């Protein structure tokens, strides 16, 4: 699943480069106008932006950093969780990052990137290591460094990162701490419930 996600993100990046006619200026591509997360547009009914924004990247460096992190973090987490559960954590983390942007960001601010989902994998891996009683210092340090970078570098969505981190940790906790009895059913109900809560929180923003 990790190679598939990397391939999909890369293919969409190439698409935007072709549309914009520029590698570094790919954000000028029409696809950004259609897919980027802009809270006011989501409130007006363009709900697909909650997910499609997570597959857009602004320039090759943005793509490279996110894909390296996805490769490094995702491989281990997918082995532990399995393909389907890993994908669920990835997508719910992406939604969690979008929800944080919807709740706390400026209505007209455009956001794009897989960082919310990647931060969700960081949070998920920390939970897994905790569950296995394995050292988690490196992952926690990685999270701390990336949060500091999110604060110091302009243009990075700290809200999206925090939302993805928290929701990724919560979703993974629901998976690895589920009781043995009816484990799959409990995990499914927990993930669906978490998704519904996030969608309800996003829907509330339309009432403001």
Q: Which of 114, 142, 106, 103 is nearest to 126 (CA)?
A: 142
**Residues forming a β-bridge with 37:** 111
Cβ neighbourhood burial of 87 (10 Å; 0-12, 13-18, 19+): middle
Contact call for residues 82 and 105 (beta carbons, < 8 A): no
The closest of 156, 152, 155, 153 to 164, measured between CA atoms, is: 156
3 state DSSP class of 106: coil
C-beta separation of 81 from 175 below 8 A: yes
Question: Residue 150, SS3?
Answer: helix
User: Do the Cβ atoms of 93 and 167 come closer than 8 Å?
Assistant: yes
Residue of 53, 98, 105, 115 marked active site: 115
- Tell me the CA distances in angstroms from 180 to 169, 177, 187, one per residue in order: 20, 9, 10
Told to judge if 62 belongs to the known catalytic residues of this protein, a careful annotator would answer no
Q: For residues 19 and 24, what is the distance between their CA atoms, to the nearest angstrom?
A: 12
Alpha-carbon distances of 92 from 22, 29, 140, rounded to whole Å: 32, 27, 21
**Looking at the annotation, which residues are catalytic?**
115, 161
């Amino acid at each position: 699943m990790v190679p598939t996600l990397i391939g999909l993100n890369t293919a969409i990046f190439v698409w935007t480069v072709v549309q914009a006619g520029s590698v570094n200026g790919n954000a000028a591509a029409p696809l950004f106008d259609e897919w980027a997360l802009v809270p006011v547009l989501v409130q007006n009914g363009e709900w697909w932006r909650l997910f499609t924004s997570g597959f857009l990247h602004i320039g090759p460096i943005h793509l490279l950093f996110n894909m390296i992190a996805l490769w490094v973090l995702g491989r281990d987490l997918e082995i532990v969780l399995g393909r389907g559960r890993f994908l669920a954590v990835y997508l719910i983390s992406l939604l969690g990052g979008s929800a944080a942007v919807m709740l706390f960001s400026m209505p007209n601010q455009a956001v794009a990137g897989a960082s919310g989902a990647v931060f969700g994998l960081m949070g998920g891996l920390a939970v897994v290591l905790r569950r296995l009683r394995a050292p988690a210092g490196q992952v926690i340090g990685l999270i701390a460094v990336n949060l500091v970078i999110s604060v110091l570098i302009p243009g990075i969505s700290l809200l999206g990162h925090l939302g993805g981190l928290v929701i990724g940790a919560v979703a993974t906790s629901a998976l690895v701490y589920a009781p043995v009895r009816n484990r799959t059913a409990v995990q499914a109900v927990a993930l669906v419930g978490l998704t519904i809560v996030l969608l309800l929180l996003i829907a509330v923003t339309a009432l403001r």
